[in-house]
């Protein structure tokens, strides 16, 4: 398989369309999307982060210890440096771990860290580093500290542990998504993972240089413009590589244009609460939903979950969606949105 044409599965950022995300940032009271805490177990040790899709940001918590023998200001400084370094490492492991649905052995984690961390860190433009949960950080989600178990002050003199939270963009320039699609990162990850992908067949996504179908930019008159998949009650989590199945056969998400996937994500997400507002005619939410699935989307109910990130439809609904796409070409635009419980 040509690695130049098959990007890393984890590169698929799960966000609203770029314009919708930016609009949400500019208008805080009009936010759709999902905030979910993500815990990835690497060899039984948890790595905690949070995905905020409305703001197109991922947060990662990390702790660091001071240099042995250091005291006072030096101990504090070296502990913070250690925490920041571990935050970059944890961001990488969380990204790959989300693709693997939270399962990663200690050995796999070490391979990823040793082979990929440097290239990943160089490609990701991390944002602010927060070092005190008691400060008013403005754009941070109100419950971020509690959801991450971020209770202590920045530096605990009793045990020397310094705790930080780092933010990074989830899509766009300098994002986790863009970084994972760079050859220097994706090829290293493929080499590190070896045959691990075969253990997770539902994770496979070919992000090929598939040209965008120009018909997708202008659907036929009266055509369906997108699809909303109602996944409420199935325990679905925010994912890097979600798919829609008919039985065991993927009908959406297994082969997409790389650039489109990086910019928009294979699927958008909307919380159950915001979806209720949408169905009741909330104009503000409707405008943002339209950015993803257009003005005339169809809605289908997921029949069952496939793991924690993908769903299967009934044969009838799957056939309806495929038939609608033949005229509307919304698969090419990645005009798909999942409704999930937070």
Radius of gyration of the chain from Cα atoms? 20
pLDDT range class, residue 261, cuts 50, 70, 90: confident
The verdict on residue 43 lying in a domain is yes
Asked, for residue 6, whether it belongs to a domain, the answer is no
Structural domain contains residue 327: yes
Lowest-confidence segment of 58-72, 111-125, 187-201, 325-339 by average pLDDT: 187-201
Domain boundary among 155, 178, 199: 199
Output 56 or 2, whichever has higher pLDDT: 56
Residues 259 and 190 in one domain: no
251 found inside a domain:
yes
Do 281 and 335 sit in the same domain of this protein?
yes
Q: Are residues 43 and 191 in the same domain?
A: yes
One domain, residues 221 and 137: no
262 part of a folded domain: yes
Indicate whether 270 and 250 sit together in one domain. yes
Which tokens is 5 given? 């044409």
Q: What is the pLDDT of residues 3-55, one digit of tens each?
A: 232 233 333 333 333 333 333 333 333 346 677 888 888 877 888 888 887 78
Which of 46-55, 104-113, 306-315 ranks highest by mean pLDDT? 306-315
Count: domains in the chain = 2
Please state, in angstroms and rounded to a whole number, the distance separating the CA atoms of residues 62 and 86: 6
Interval 278-293 mean pLDDT: 93
Let me know if residue 44 belongs to a domain: yes
Q: Does residue 144 sit in the same domain as residue 255?
A: no
Pairing of strands 244-246, 304-306: unpaired
Q: Do 257 and 152 share a domain, yes or no? A: no
Query: How much is the pLDDT for 172?
Result: 74
* Residue 7, in any domain of the structure: no
Range of the domain at 22: 12-199
**Tokens representing residue 107 in the block:** 């050995």
Residues 149 and 47 in one domain: yes
Give the residue, 222 or 15, on which the prediction is more confident.
222
181 and 223 co-located in one domain: no
The reply to whether 5 falls in a domain is no
Predicted pLDDT of residue 55: 81
Residue 101 confidence (pLDDT) = 64
Mean pLDDT, the chain, rounded, equals 76
pTM of the model: 0.75
Res 298: pLDDT: 98
Asked which of 175, 199, 223 is the last residue of a domain, the reply is 199
How many residues would you count in the chain? 342
Residues 139 and 207 in one domain: no
Q: Does residue 180 sit in the same domain as residue 221?
A: no
Shared domain for 231 and 188, answered yes or no, is no
- Supply the pLDDT for residue 21: 39
Q: For residue 100, is pLDDT > 90?
A: no
User: What is d(CA 260, CA 325) in angstroms, rounded to the nearest whole number?
Assistant: 17
Residues 109 and 95 sit within 8 Å (Cβ to Cβ): no
Query: Is 173 in contact with 97 (CB distance < 8 Å)?
Result: no
pLDDT bracket for residue 158 (50, 70, 90): low
Residue listed under structure tokens 């702790």: 63
């Amino acid at each position: 398989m040509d690695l130049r044409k098959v990007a890393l599965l984890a590169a698929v950022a799960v966000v609203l369309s770029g314009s919708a995300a930016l609009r949400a940032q500019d208008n805080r009271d009009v936010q759709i999307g999902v905030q979910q805490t993500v815990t990835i177990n690497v060899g039984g040790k948890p790595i905690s982060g949070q995905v905020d899709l409305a703001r197109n940001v991922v947060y990662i918590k990390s702790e660091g210890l001071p240099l042995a023998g250091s005291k006072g200001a030096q101990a504090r400084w070296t502990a913070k440096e250690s925490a920041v370094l571990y935050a970059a490492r944890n961001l990488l492991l969380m990204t790959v771990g989300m693709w693997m649905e939270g399962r990663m052995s200690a050995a796999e984690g070490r391979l990823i860290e040793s082979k990929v961390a440097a290239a990943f860190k160089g490609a990701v433009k991390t944002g602010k580093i927060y070092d005190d949960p008691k400060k008013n950080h403005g754009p941070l989600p109100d419950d971020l500290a509690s959801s991450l178990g971020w209770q202590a002050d920045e530096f605990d003199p009793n045990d020397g542990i310094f705790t930080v939270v780092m933010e990074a963009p989830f899509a766009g320039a300098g994002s986790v998504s863009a970084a994972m699609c760079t050859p220097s990162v994706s090829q290293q990850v493929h080499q590190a993972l070896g045959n691990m992908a075969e253990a997770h067949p539902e994770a496979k996504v070919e992000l090929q240089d598939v040209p965008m179908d120009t018909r997708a930019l202008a659907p036929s008159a009266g055509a369906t413009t997108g699809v909303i998949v109602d996944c409420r009650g199935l325990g679905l989590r925010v994912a890097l590589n979600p798919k829609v199945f008919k039985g065991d056969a993927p009908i959406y998400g297994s082969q997409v244009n790389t650039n489109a996937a990086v910019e928009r994500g294979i699927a958008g997400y909307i919380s159950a609460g915001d979806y209720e507002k949408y169905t009741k005619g909330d104009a503000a939410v409707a405008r943002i939903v339209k950015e993803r699935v257009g003005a005339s989307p169809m809605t289908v109910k997921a029949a069952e979950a496939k793991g924690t990130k993908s769903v299967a439809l009934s044969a009838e609904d799957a056939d309806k969606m495929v038939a609608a796409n033949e005229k509307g070409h919304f698969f090419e635009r990645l005009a798909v949105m999942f409704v999930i419980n937070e």
